[in-house]
Amino acid sequence: MEVKSGVSDQPIGIEEITRGAINRAKRPLKKGNADLGVGIEAGIYESPGTLTGYLDIQVCAVASPNGLVTLGHGPGFEYLPVVTRRILEEGVEAGIAMESL
């Protein structure tokens, strides 16, 4: 089921990425016809020691109707500096910045 994340199209920061995943997991449950909700959100977050200072990760949230939410995330990776710069300076989504390469 497609639902809105409630966060920006290109989340920046672990808090915003996580909030988007949780929102995506909880919103289908409000319709009352699901046993679990699963939401995935991707975005970039600050990671010292990397070339650009940022990594891209995907956060997954699993929500139950009684309010329990569990979280996990996939491995992170770094975009080319030109991609990260466009995300941060122009507000472009990562996919759009990558397409222009």
**7 part of a folded domain:** no
**72 part of a folded domain:** yes
**79 part of a folded domain:** yes
Tell me the sheet residues that pair with 77. 56
Cα→Cα distances 43→29, 36, 55, Å: 24, 23, 8
**50 part of a folded domain:** yes
**44 part of a folded domain:** yes
* Region label for 29, one of left (φ > 0), alpha (ψ between -120 and 50) or beta (otherwise): alpha
Which pLDDT value is given to residue 46? 96
* pTM for this model (two decimals): 0.91
Write out the two tokens for 85.
């710069």
**Bridge-based pairing state of the strands 69-73 and 37-46:** unpaired
pLDDT truncated to tens, each residue of the chain (101 aa)? 888 999 999 999 999 999 999 999 999 898 777 889 999 999 999 999 999 999 999 999 999 999 999 999 999 999 999 999 999 999 999 999 999 88
**6 part of a folded domain:** no
Domain that holds residue 51: 14-99
- Looking at the structure of the chain, the number of domains it has is 1
